[in-house]
Structure 1
């Protein structure tokens, strides 16, 4: 499972970093050009908006695979293993259905916008919907894998809760006994 995560996530994380770097250069360069030389890069606004959409949805996919989304575990922690398993399966089924709804709507929008072009770059408007389709593919695979693992009994109690403690709590727990955290 860890090898699959690394295989899938490393290229996506590299792409995210490249998109962020390109956005930074485009926006900063455009600001400098506008204030210093009263000119600008006409493509920068449109391209940075497209890259932002890619960053949001690819980042959501990475966050899903790393199980780093926020969650509330007040009720689930009080349930037995069977109750936790039932909640886990139900929530994954609901998220899989929601993923299907997002995919089907995005697929329709992709088809509608395929022939339309952006005003400045002249590329298809459908490129704004591609990262959503990629995200739904990753999400559907993740939810199906989670359901299979839970129904076959290969999931731990910690995974059934699915909420990580804050990074501060995690860092303090890693300290050797008797040492105090620096404030």
Structure 2
């Protein structure tokens, strides 16, 4: 229940980022085109729209990475893992998850070390501290890390389900366990 609420909120954040990006870029392009014909509004464009759309794109990408991780959507070596059975598949999942945790730790530590620098750097147009851009690494590393820690815990305690193993191997597209190519 809480997991679904968190992922739903992240998906809504992604929609809001995308809608704001499209609106800003389209409006800016329209204003610039109108200024070519002699109708100059807002000085021919909105200066903050380019910078804000780049910042929103970073957040869209990093939050999207967490959402996709929760849906088993990231790239994997499904051809190899699909040939494994039983404990070999569990070992592959465990190894993969440990490597992902290492990457999450590297991302978090790197973001942590860079945070004081970016807290003092100011974006040239909006005047926002750049930690608002680079801080997205915290959300991604913690979000994906928590997802993977939960899966590692289920593997270590023997609670990993057959459906999760099938999803890991790419045999199931749907989080509800429907086989690949299943159409209702």
- Asked if these proteins are the same fold (TM beyond 0.5), I'd say yes
Kindly indicate whether the alpha-carbon contact (under 8 Å) linking 1:85 and 1:150 is maintained by their aligned counterparts in 2: yes
Kindly indicate whether the alpha-carbon contact (under 8 Å) linking 1:81 and 1:157 is maintained by their aligned counterparts in 2: no
Determine if the alignment matches structure 1 residue 155 to structure 2 residue 153.
Answer: no
Kindly indicate whether the alpha-carbon contact (under 8 Å) linking 2:59 and 2:136 is maintained by their aligned counterparts in 1: yes
| 1:2-41 aligned within 5 A | 3-38=1-36, 39-41=44-46
- Alpha-carbon distance, 1:153 to partner: 1.2
Superposition misfits of 4+ residues, deviation over 6 angstroms: none
Q: How does the TM-score come out when normalised to structure 1?
A: 0.86
Compute the RMSD of aligned alpha carbons.
1.9
Q: Secondary structure at the match of 1:79?
A: coil
CA distance in 1, matches of 2:162, 2:181: 23
2:40 aligned residue: none
CA distance in 2, matches of 1:68, 1:109: 29
Q: Please list the CA deviations of residues 25-70 of structure 1 after superposition, one character each: whole Å capped at 9, or x if unmatched.
A: 1000000000112500000000000000000000111001111223
| 1:32-181 aligned within 5 A | 32-38=30-36, 39-161=44-166, 162=168, 163=170, 172-175=181-184
Q: Does the C-alpha gap of structure 1 residues 9 and 166 become closer, same or farther in structure 2, counting only changes over 3 Å?
A: closer
Kindly indicate whether the alpha-carbon contact (under 8 Å) linking 1:27 and 1:45 is maintained by their aligned counterparts in 2: yes
Q: Give the count of matched residue pairs.
A: 172
Q: Tell me, which stretches of 5 or more residues in structure 1 are unaligned?
A: 176-183
